[in-house]
A = this chain, B = another copy of it.
Amino acid sequence: MPSPVKLYDLAARDEDIRFSPYCWRVRFALAHKGLPVETVPWRFTEKAAIGFSGQGKVPVIVDDGRCVADSWKIAEYLEATYPDRPSLFNGQTGHALARFAAEWTDNVLVPTIARLILPEVHDMLHPKDQDYFKTTREAFFGCSLDDLAAGREAHLAALRQALRPLAATLEHQAYVAGEAPAYADHVVAAALQWLRVCSPHDVTSDQPALAGWFERMLNAYDGMAKAMSAAA
């Protein structure tokens, strides 16, 4: 058994609550590779703690002395470093199309979920992170967290709409990547895990194929994602 990969993992006020959609990708990918993980709780304002990575965001991993930041680069690092373990991509075309799924997630799904849940995320954070979070997110979205909260119904409708390509895909196949989960599934499920951990909004129960897939992803890898409590 290799020694654990250290993962700097975004934490809430309660340090056991982990919700980052980018860190969850790494958790899924490590589990897929069968690599043990040791997570280090990290808050947004603890830039010094990951200064060794040359940048200021998580996920950051340290594996046998090697440091890698950025979820996509971490996935590529794991695939290249552990080629004999279950593949995250299943070949060049699978790799390229997983990139498209990740870009869809980053450019559409994550911002759409963000508009819906950022007010709740703010309230979950450690107090020392809240000003930083509020300032950076309000600048990014060009409106206040209160404005976002006031538009909740519209953001929920936008999220249901944004999920259509995913839901339609899952009406034809068990996983985004086919008969078994791979990195494309990790990326999308990590975004829905963020939603699940931070807010009580339900966006899958009227879409059985999507709901069934997410339940399988929560139960995958010995129920790793399900072990994290959902928001009440």
Contacts and interface: CB of A to CB of B under 8 A. Distances in A.
Contact of A93 (B93, B100, B106, B172): B93
Contacts of A169: 96, 99-100, 103
B165 A100 contact: yes
A98 to B, nearest CB: 7
A4 interface: no
A65 interface: no
Nearest to A91: B91
Interface stretch (A123-131, A150-158, A175-183): A175-183
A179 B108 CA distance: 25
A99 B175 CA distance: 11
Interface string A84-102: 0000011111111111110
A168 interface: yes
Interface in A32-91: 89-91
Chain A, interface residues (CB within 8 Å), range? 20 to 34
A201 interface: no
Nearest to A72: B172
Interface in A151-204: 164-166, 168-169, 172-173, 175-179, 182, 184
B173 A96 contact: yes
Interface of A: 89-101, 103-104, 106-108, 164-166, 168-169, 172-173, 175-179, 182, 184
24 contacts: A91-B94, A92-B178, A93-B94, A93-B182, A94-B94, A94-B97, A96-B169, A96-B173, A96-B175, A97-B97, A97-B176, A97-B178, A97-B184, A100-B100, A100-B165, A100-B166, A100-B169, A103-B164, A103-B166, A104-B104, A104-B165, A106-B168, A107-B165, A108-B164
Given A99-B169, A103-B168, 9 more contacts: A90-B91, A90-B92, A90-B93, A93-B177, A96-B176, A96-B178, A97-B98, A103-B164, A108-B164
